[in-house]
Amino acid sequence: MNSKKIEIEVLEYTFTELNSVSQHLIEVAKENTKKSYAPYSNYSVGAAVLLENGEIISGSNQENAAYPSGLCAERTAIFYANAMYPDVAPKILAIAAFYNGNFVDEPISPCGSCRQVLLETETRYKKDMQILLYGENRIYLISSVKKLLPLAFNEQNLKK
Ligand code: THU
């Protein structure tokens, strides 16, 4: 039996340590929590995607009375970006969450389905996408989606 360790690198920042582009994206993601439709969980998530053409695409979670029909903020943003600009790679995705009257203390973590979708986008455009996860106490920066989803199922698995 072999034991393998798979480690990922996460960079931890305070808000003021971030560059102005990242700070702005986080501000936009925080603002976008206000556009969330989350009457069932009351957990409002905002996303902001910076594209290579400089455009910033917004997203927020959109819930549904039939719970699984709702969609996370990351996927509303990334699908919209891909649909609007199919030829433009996303560079940075920032996420923030507002719950119980405050932005969450610890960095919000994208769910497994969002990681899978983000990985597809990163693979499709052959460009690493930085992920910024906002928390009041700390901000995580992960340099690519690959790191967020080790041992992922991907297009290679479908090759003959
Ligand atoms: N949610 C997101 O939008 N993004 C995440 O990364 C985690 C969870 C949403 C889904 C649902 O509307 C609510 O937050 C509670 O799970």
Residue closest via CA to ligand 1's atom 8 equals 72
Contact present, 133 and 63 (Cβ < 8 Å): no
Residue whose CA lies nearest to ligand 1 atom number 13: 43
Predicted pLDDT of residue 160: 82
**What integer pLDDT is reported at residue 60 of this predicted model?**
98
For the annotated catalytic residues, the residue numbers are 74
Q: Check pocket membership of 111 for ligand 1, CB cut-off 6 A.
A: yes
**∠ CA 133-136-140 to the nearest 5 degrees?**
30
* Segment 119-142 mean pLDDT: 98
Nearest CA owner, ligand 1 atom 3: 72
The string of pLDDT tens digits covering residues 115-130 is: 999 999 999 999 999 9
pLDDT at residue number 116: 97
Please state whether 30 falls in left (phi above 0), alpha (psi between -120 and 50) or beta.
alpha
Q: State the distance from the centre of ligand 1 to the C-alpha of 46, rounded, in angstroms.
A: 9
The predicted-structure confidence for 56-111, as pLDDT tens digits, reads as follows 999 999 999 999 999 999 999 999 999 999 999 999 999 999 999 999 999 999 99
42: its two tokens:
């009351």
Instruction: Check if 73 has its Cβ closer than 6 Å to any atom of ligand 1.
Output: yes
Domains identified in the chain and CATH numbers: 11-151 (3.40.140.10)
- What's the pTM? 0.96
What's the mean per-residue pLDDT of the chain? 97
The CA radius of gyration of the chain, in Å to the nearest whole number, is: 16
- Are the beta carbons of 78 and 49 closer than 8 angstroms? yes
* Structure confidence by residue, pLDDT tens digits, 5-50: 999 999 999 999 999 999 999 999 999 999 999 999 999 999 999 9
Answer yes or no: is the C-beta of 25 below 6 A from any ligand 1 atom: no
Going from the Cα of 38 to the center of ligand 1, the distance in angstroms, rounded, reads: 9
Cα 131 to Cα 1, 4, 24, 88, 159: the distances in Å are 35, 26, 14, 17, 28
Q: Average pLDDT, stretch 134-151?
A: 97
